[in-house]
């Protein structure tokens, strides 16, 4: 019995079924469901291409499946890391995979006071000094994360490289994209920045108390 | 979705490639002294023509930093010099000016200006993503610093078309390598003025005036820029960092500027800076010993 027409019909039906998933994928508003549906579509397209021996589709969809899976993994990992940061040390190291390296020479200024802020930095190596306050920033410090959420959006100090090193930078636009694409990330990011802000306020209050105590003793 | 909504969404999507939608000039900063109004207004007008409303707003934001902190005359001078520097001269600007000259004359001025550029200078006016590979190739074949003569002509239809195409590149200017360099320069100059206000207010005028060292394009521009950085790095910054005990910074800047010659090796300028530094350190040491 000739079964080739059955394979052909199965292929057509499968392709139609896959199109439903293509539409569903494109109608997703945020990144994680979009990737999940894209992966399902990849599986269906691969499945329907097997009976008709459409090897080109199989190869292309397998590659896209790998890409979609990697991107989904990245997004889920990002949400998990931000969530973990909120409940542990308030670190922003999770941003590192999205940052680009920028070598800095001694004397180079990363940004000036009152300049419009457009990116944040993670210090990897070298020595960096806030010019106006004279404070030296330790390795691992994140600089400029509040600038993204402040209405004035300007730098409050000048950051100068005192000893050549490396920083990682990410623009606010890139973080905004992550925020918009991924509501869970956005939620935990806000929680994290607020927690860091409260941590700073706490430190300032502690410093004020110490100063008041020192005045009393004197 | 209405047509207007769809069009505005498409405009937003291609905002980087289309001309700026907003053509409303920014307001003058609050509290701007009367004496500084003409300079700031002129600056806004110049930068609206040069780039657009967003760039003019950046200028106003930069002027705002000094409103109420310095006297009106000096503020006007900062506003004037900053507008000049923000409207830096690149091939796009030269094309814009040439077209404006043609339009203002009602199409009567038909002329050709030939300007000399270095290849890297021309490529720097392109967006970084396009400029980087070109610069890499030019560097590999050793043509980076090779000079090229570019005609800017209103004398023929082809020349006018070319000018229009070059002036059209204005919308990509803010993504260019040169834009980034100029932004850093203006911020550094303003930073030095702000530090002078805190550390040596009597030298503010001299620091403001250093902006006149940088003009035009090509060799003259590069020389001025190199001299400016030599003076700032050798004298101004060390004074503000507290490592160079120089009481009269304004006079030191004047002496250094007098020593600056059109010499790419900056021999005379570097010598003058070294002498000023040696004198200041010597005087500082003597004062400490006494």
- Write the pLDDT tens digit of every residue in B36-46: 999 999 999 99
B122 or B16, which is more confident? B122
B177 contacts: CB under 8 Å, gap ≥ 6: B123, B124, B126, B128, B131
Tell me, what DSSP letter sits at residue B235?
Answer: I
Rounded Cα–Cα distance for residues A167 and A89 (Å): 21
Has residue B225 been placed in a domain?
yes
Query: Do A68 and A99 lie in a common domain?
Result: no
Last residue of a domain, one of A18, A45, A76: A76
The three-point CA angle B275-B287-B197 to 5° equals 70
Decide if A209 touches B, using CB distance below 8 A.
no
Q: Which residue is associated with the tokens 């200041």?
A: B280
Across the range B109-114, mean pLDDT stands at 89
Is B233–A158 a contact, with Cβ atoms under 8 angstroms apart?
A: no
Kindly report the average pLDDT of chain A as a whole number: 84
**Bridge partners, residue A103, by sequence:** A166
B55 within 8 A of B26, measured Cβ to Cβ: no
A17 or B18, which is more confident? A17
Q: What is the pLDDT of residues B34-83, one digit of tens each?
A: 999 999 999 999 999 999 999 999 999 999 999 999 999 999 999 999 99
Has residue A195 been placed in a domain?
no
Searching chain B, which residue's CA lies closest to the CA of residue A152?
Answer: B61
What is the reported pLDDT for B277?
A: 95
Least confident interval from B17-31, B150-164, B234-248: B17-31
Query: Which of the four pLDDT bands, split at 50, 70 and 90, describes residue A192?
Result: confident
Show the domain range for A54: 4-76
Query: Do A100 and A44 lie in a common domain?
Result: no
Chain B contact set for A107 (CB, 8 A): 233
What is the reported pLDDT for A21?
A: 86
Last residue of a domain, one of B87, B113, B140: B87
Query: Which of the four pLDDT bands, split at 50, 70 and 90, describes residue A143?
Result: confident
**Angle between helical axes of A183-217 and A172-181 (0-180°, round to 10):** 130
Query: Do B189 and B171 lie in a common domain?
Result: no
Judged against a pLDDT cut of 50, whether residue A104 lies above it is answered with yes
Across the range A128-139, mean pLDDT stands at 86
Question: Model-level pTM?
Answer: 0.78
Out of A109, A114, A116, the one facing B188 most closely (by C-beta) is A109
What is the reported pLDDT for A97?
A: 77
Rounded Cα–Cα distance for residues A98 and A210 (Å): 39
Out of A109, A111, A114, the one facing B65 most closely (by C-beta) is A114
Judged against a pLDDT cut of 50, whether residue B1 lies above it is answered with no
Kindly report the average pLDDT of chain B as a whole number: 90
What is the reported pLDDT for A95?
A: 76
Domain count for chain B? 3
What is the reported pLDDT for B126?
A: 84
ipTM of the complex model = 0.78
Judged against a pLDDT cut of 90, whether residue A79 lies above it is answered with no
Judged against a pLDDT cut of 80, whether residue B14 lies above it is answered with no
Searching chain A, which residue's CA lies closest to the CA of residue B65?
Answer: A114
Query: Do B196 and B125 lie in a common domain?
Result: no
Rounded Cα–Cα distance for residues B17 and B175 (Å): 11
Last residue of a domain, one of B120, B155, B175: B175
What is the reported pLDDT for A75?
A: 82
What is the reported pLDDT for B21?
A: 62
Least confident interval from A29-33, A45-49, B90-94, B179-183: A29-33
Judged against a pLDDT cut of 80, whether residue A7 lies above it is answered with no
Least confident interval from A91-100, A120-129, B101-110, B133-142: A91-100
B 213-242: CB under 8 A from A: 233
**Bridge partners, residue A142, by sequence:** A122
Per 3-state DSSP, what percentage of chain B is helix, strand, and coil (rounded to 5)?
70, 5, 25
Has residue A71 been placed in a domain?
yes
What is the reported pLDDT for A85?
A: 72
Query: Which of the four pLDDT bands, split at 50, 70 and 90, describes residue A206?
Result: confident
Query: Do B68 and B81 lie in a common domain?
Result: yes
Query: Do A99 and A159 lie in a common domain?
Result: yes
Decide if A106 touches B, using CB distance below 8 A.
no
Has residue B168 been placed in a domain?
yes
Judged against a pLDDT cut of 70, whether residue B12 lies above it is answered with no
CATH of the domain at A122: 2.60.120.10
Judged against a pLDDT cut of 60, whether residue B2 lies above it is answered with no
Across the range A94-122, mean pLDDT stands at 88
Show the domain range for B202: 176-283
Query: Do B263 and B180 lie in a common domain?
Result: yes
Query: Which of the four pLDDT bands, split at 50, 70 and 90, describes residue A54?
Result: confident
Has residue A197 been placed in a domain?
no
Has residue B290 been placed in a domain?
no
Least confident interval from A6-15, A182-191, B184-193: A6-15
Burial classification of residue A63, based on how many CB atoms lie within 10 Å of its CB (0-12 exposed, 13-18 middle, 19 or more buried) = exposed
Is A114–B58 a contact, with Cβ atoms under 8 angstroms apart?
A: no
Query: Do A65 and A107 lie in a common domain?
Result: no
Query: Do B107 and B198 lie in a common domain?
Result: no
Tell me, what DSSP letter sits at residue A30?
Answer: S
Query: Do A106 and A135 lie in a common domain?
Result: yes
What is the reported pLDDT for B288?
A: 61
Chain B contact set for A133 (CB, 8 A): none
Q: From A18, A13, A17, A9, select the one nearest A64 (Cα to Cα).
A: A18
The terminus-to-terminus CA distance of chain B in angstroms comes to: 81
Last residue of a domain, one of B175, B193, B216: B175
What is the reported pLDDT for B260?
A: 93
């Amino acid at each position: 019995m000739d079964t080739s027409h059955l394979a052909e019909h199965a292929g057509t039906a499968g392709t139609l079924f896959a199109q439903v998933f293509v539409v569903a994928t494109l109608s997703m508003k945020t990144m994680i469901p979009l990737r999940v549906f894209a992966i399902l579509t990849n599986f269906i397209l691969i499945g329907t291409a097997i009976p008709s021996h459409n090897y080109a589709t199989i190869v292309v969809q397998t590659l896209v499946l790998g890409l979609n899976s990697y991107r989904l993994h990245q997004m889920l990992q990002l949400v998990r890391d931000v969530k973990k940061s909120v409940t542990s040390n308030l670190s922003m190291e999770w941003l590192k995979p999205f940052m680009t390296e920028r070598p800095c020479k001694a004397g180079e200024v990363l940004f000036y006071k009152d300049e419009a802020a457009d990116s944040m930095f993670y210090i990897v190596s070298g020595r960096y000094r806030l010019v106006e306050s004279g404070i030296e920033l330790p390795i691992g410090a994140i600089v400029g994360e509040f600038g993204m959420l402040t209405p004035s959006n300007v730098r409050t100090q000048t950051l100068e490289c005192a000893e050549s090193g490396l920083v990682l930078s990410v623009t606010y636009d890139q973080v905004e994209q992550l925020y918009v694409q991924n509501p869970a990330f956005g939620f935990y990011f806000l929680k994290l920045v607020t927690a860091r802000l409260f941590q700073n306020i706490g430190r300032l209050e502690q410093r004020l108390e110490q100063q008041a105590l020192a005045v009393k003793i004197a | 979705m209405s047509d207007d909504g769809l069009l505005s969404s498409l405009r937003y999507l291609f905002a980087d490639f289309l001309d700026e939608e907003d053509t409303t000039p920014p307001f003058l900063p609050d509290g701007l002294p009367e004496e500084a109004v003409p300079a700031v207004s002129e600056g806004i007008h110049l930068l609206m023509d040069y780039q657009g409303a967003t760039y003019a707003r950046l200028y106003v934001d930069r002027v705002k930093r000094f409103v109420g902190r310095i006297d009106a005359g000096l503020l006007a001078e900062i506003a004037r010099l900053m507008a000049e520097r923000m409207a830096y001269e690149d091939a796009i600007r030269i094309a814009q000016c040439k077209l404006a000259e043609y339009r203002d004359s009602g199409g009567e001025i038909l002329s050709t200006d030939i300007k000399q550029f270095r290849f890297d200078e021309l490529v720097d006016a392109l967006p970084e993503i396009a400029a980087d590979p070109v610069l890499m190739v030019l560097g590999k074949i050793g043509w980076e610093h090779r000079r090229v003569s570019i005609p800017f002509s209103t004398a023929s239809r082809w020349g006018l078309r070319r000018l229009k195409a070059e002036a059209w590149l204005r919308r990509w200017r803010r993504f260019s390598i040169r834009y980034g360099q100029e932004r850093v320069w203006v911020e550094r100059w303003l930073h030095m003025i702000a530090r002078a206000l805190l550390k040596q207010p009597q030298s503010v005028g001299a620091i403001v005036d250093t902006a006149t060292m940088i003009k035009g394009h090509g060799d003259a521009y590069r020389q001025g820029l190199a001299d400016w950085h030599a003076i700032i790095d050798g004298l101004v910054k060390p004074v503000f960092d507290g490592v160079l005990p120089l009481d009269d910074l304004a006079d030191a800047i004047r002496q250094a500027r007098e020593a600056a010659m059109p010499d790419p090796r900056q021999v005379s300028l570097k010598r003058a800076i070294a002498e000023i530094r040696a004198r200041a350190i010597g005087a500082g040491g003597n004062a400490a010993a006494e």
